[in-house]
Structure 1
Amino acid sequence: MKFFIQNAYRYFVSLVALIALTQTVNAQTESDALMIPKNYVCIAGMYAHNNWDHYWEGTFNRNNLNLGTVSSNFYNLGVVYGLSNRINVSAFVPYVQTNVTAGTLRAQRGVQDIYLAFKWMAVREQLGTGLLSFHAIATGSIPLGNYQPDYLPLALGSRSRGVALRGLLNYQVGRFFVAGAGQYVRRDNISIDRDAYYTTEMHYTNQVAIPNATNFLVSAGFRSLQLNVEAIATKYTTLGGFDITRNNMPFPSNRMNATAVGGLAKYMFQSIPGLELTAGSNYVVAARNVGQNLQVFGGLDYIFAVKKEKTDK
């Protein structure tokens, strides 16, 4: 039961991937086939640091002396609860700081959005010498902070309400596993503080259509009661949008595609049951209108029972 708290950290890293593509694209999503048990709670505290000094302007990889190095810090608190052994619900709220080392743009900081998730283990069957499982995951986001989305690359987020559906397939033999996941993300329009703007044509409105997106993942690694190590690759693709024009600032409805690779390790403290340390890193290797980001992250999770199951005497 000790390794069930891995699900909490994995969900947080997924959120960062979807909300901060101008600063980072993460290599982790809800690719974990483990669940929080019924009537257990996981409290998660997490931190991620991102930085880049090169980015893709369309397909052209370049730097910008008016920006220098762009960085961001995510401080995230969340909770995961086991409604049953097959159903988990989650809630996370991040506090975000962004900064640049050159130019005149001002750093930003503040609370971003609240993120909610529902995870259902629909299938869990023995297949050959291993265990096959399929999970269906629904997530949603609602803006909380009064931040300005039309301030890229320093905006704290997109301020777009969104919903996403993900399917996760996992196969484990002994301590080794492989997993794959596909996700569809639908995002609402946003309002910006100007009455007209230009993309590939003139728009006389303050409403901006944010492109929907897909997110695909493959991962493989080793799981035990005390140590877990895995390698992960993701591909995030917006379904529409336009390229950043030459020497211009990015815009919320830009096309933002990215492929990232990375890994993570988790360690369960034997002396403190329920406490787990997570650390990892990932790097954007190919992209469009996205920073060539390096991210490092870490966090502590703690799981405990809130209600004991009744047992027959």
Structure 2
Amino acid sequence: MILSVLKNPIKILLIFFAVSGPAHAQTDIDGLMMQKNFFCVGPTISKSSWKNYWEGTFKRDNANLGTVSTTAAMIMGNYGVTDKLNLLFGLPYIKTKASAGNLKGQKGLQDLSLFVKWVAKEKKIGKGNLKAILIGGYSAPVSKYYIDLMPLAIGMHSKTGHLRVMADYEMGDWFATISGTYMLRSNVTLDRNTYYTTEMHYTNEVKMPDANDFNFRIGYRSSTWIIEAIADKFTTLGGFDITKNNMPFVSNKMDATKLGLHVKYDTDFVNGLSFVADANTTVAGRNVGQSTSFGGGVFYILDFSKKKKEETKK
């Protein structure tokens, strides 16, 4: 049988073929903030691939698909309203393909993500500084992509609300960041009037389970380099397993544990220019591909501050 993503997204969201997370500047998932009236923007590109996957908790492969790969190109931006309040966005273009079989991959714009990031509390503890950060976000599809062909669909077409609580502790050039996210997902519709999960449904509407995500990162952070190790655990709050030798479905239970590495270099030859690189691998999962992902990006910071404008006038 044929085995039939975000963020995302997601994202910046985990989807079945496990797209690599986008490269990081100051993003919704780290403890960094953009300065007031500064705008950081740039493109990223990542590639994720897997051959083995978990059918429920059973690990297997699928010769009808071979290796499933996903390429994601994204434009990201972060504007500092104040030093403690940032507005962020991300928009990915996704392309999927399988190395075997007759299923054709898909491509197109996926979901636009918008986030508000706020430092709610900052306090000196011991020799370091602790920040409590709240992040709220919303993502929604910007194209009418087809979702009923997993894992070659480019997304799930579900409107999603995000609420994240984060703590970031920095002591000198060393830091640790932990966060937890709740994702409230809207129902989606199929291009057919019946479907089967664990029972027959005579409708085209599919109820999507909500999800949560826990992220921990630790590493080195200076004015020039950021090097961090990352652990991430994504869990859907409901759903059902892929049945034996069957296609996955958009409302399956999808759990994944990933380990990764992120590196950022702020150049000294061009002020405001930085390069980022990411890698991660899925070490445990349920109804997801055992993906390995690599990505990179280039970012530039634009200064819209009043001080900069006054200097320009002079």
Q: TM-score, normalised by structure 2?
A: 0.92
Q: Deviations over 1:157-204 (max 9, x none)?
A: 000001010001011111001111000000000010110011001100
Matched, 1:303 2:301: yes
Matched, 1:134 2:132: yes
Counterpart CA distance in 1 for 2:94 and 2:9 is 15
Structure 1 residue corresponding to 2:15, chosen from 9, 12, 20:
20
Q: Please, which moves more after superposition, 117-126 or 17-26?
A: 17-26
Matched residue type, 2:13: L
Counterpart CA distance in 2 for 1:58 and 1:101 is 23
Counterpart CA distance in 2 for 1:308 and 1:70 is 49
Residue aligned with 2:248, SS: coil
Percent sequence identity over matched residues?
41
Displacement of 1:28 in angstroms is: 8.5
Alignment of 1:85-96 (within 5 A): 85-96=83-94
Alignment of 1:102-141 (within 5 A): 102-141=100-139
Structure 2 residue corresponding to 1:60, chosen from 40, 58, 82:
58
Q: Check the 8 A contact 2:258/2:282 in 1, yes or no.
A: yes
Counterpart CA distance in 2 for 1:295 and 1:162 is 24
Counterpart CA distance in 1 for 2:52 and 2:37 is 46
Q: Check the 8 A contact 1:23/1:153 in 2, yes or no.
A: no
Q: Check the 8 A contact 1:19/1:158 in 2, yes or no.
A: no
Matched residue type, 1:218: F
| Aligned match of 2:95 | 97
Counterpart CA distance in 2 for 1:97 and 1:33 is 30
Pick closer, same or farther for the CA change 1:125–1:28 going to 2, 3 Å: farther
Q: TM-score, normalised by structure 1?
A: 0.92
Displacement of 1:88 in angstroms is: 0.5
Matched residue type, 2:140: I
Structure 2 residue corresponding to 1:157, chosen from 151, 155, 158:
155
| Aligned match of 1:203 | 201
Structure 2 residue corresponding to 1:175, chosen from 148, 167, 173:
173
Q: Check the 8 A contact 1:27/1:260 in 2, yes or no.
A: no
Question: What runs of 5+ residues in structure 1 fail to find an aligned partner?
Answer: 1-10
Counterpart CA distance in 1 for 2:148 and 2:80 is 38
Q: Deviations over 1:221-262 (max 9, x none)?
A: 000111110000010000000000111111000000000001
Q: Check the 8 A contact 1:17/1:24 in 2, yes or no.
A: no
| Aligned match of 1:5 | none
Pick closer, same or farther for the CA change 1:220–1:35 going to 2, 3 Å: same
| Aligned match of 1:3 | none
Displacement of 1:217 in angstroms is: 1.1
Matched residue type, 1:149: I
Pick closer, same or farther for the CA change 1:268–1:280 going to 2, 3 Å: same
Counterpart CA distance in 1 for 2:23 and 2:287 is 20
Pick closer, same or farther for the CA change 1:194–1:294 going to 2, 3 Å: same
Q: Deviations over 1:114-150 (max 9, x none)?
A: 1100000111111111000011001111111110111
Aligned residues: 302
Counterpart CA distance in 1 for 2:173 and 2:7 is 24
| Aligned match of 2:3 | none
Alignment of 1:36-47 (within 5 A): 36-47=34-45
Counterpart CA distance in 2 for 1:167 and 1:25 is 22
| Aligned match of 1:4 | none
Displacement of 1:78 in angstroms is: 2.0
Query: How big is the alpha-carbon RMSD for the aligned residues of Structure 1 and Structure 2?
Result: 2.0
Counterpart CA distance in 1 for 2:117 and 2:205 is 32
| Aligned match of 1:7 | none
Counterpart CA distance in 2 for 1:100 and 1:73 is 12
Matched residue type, 2:217: S
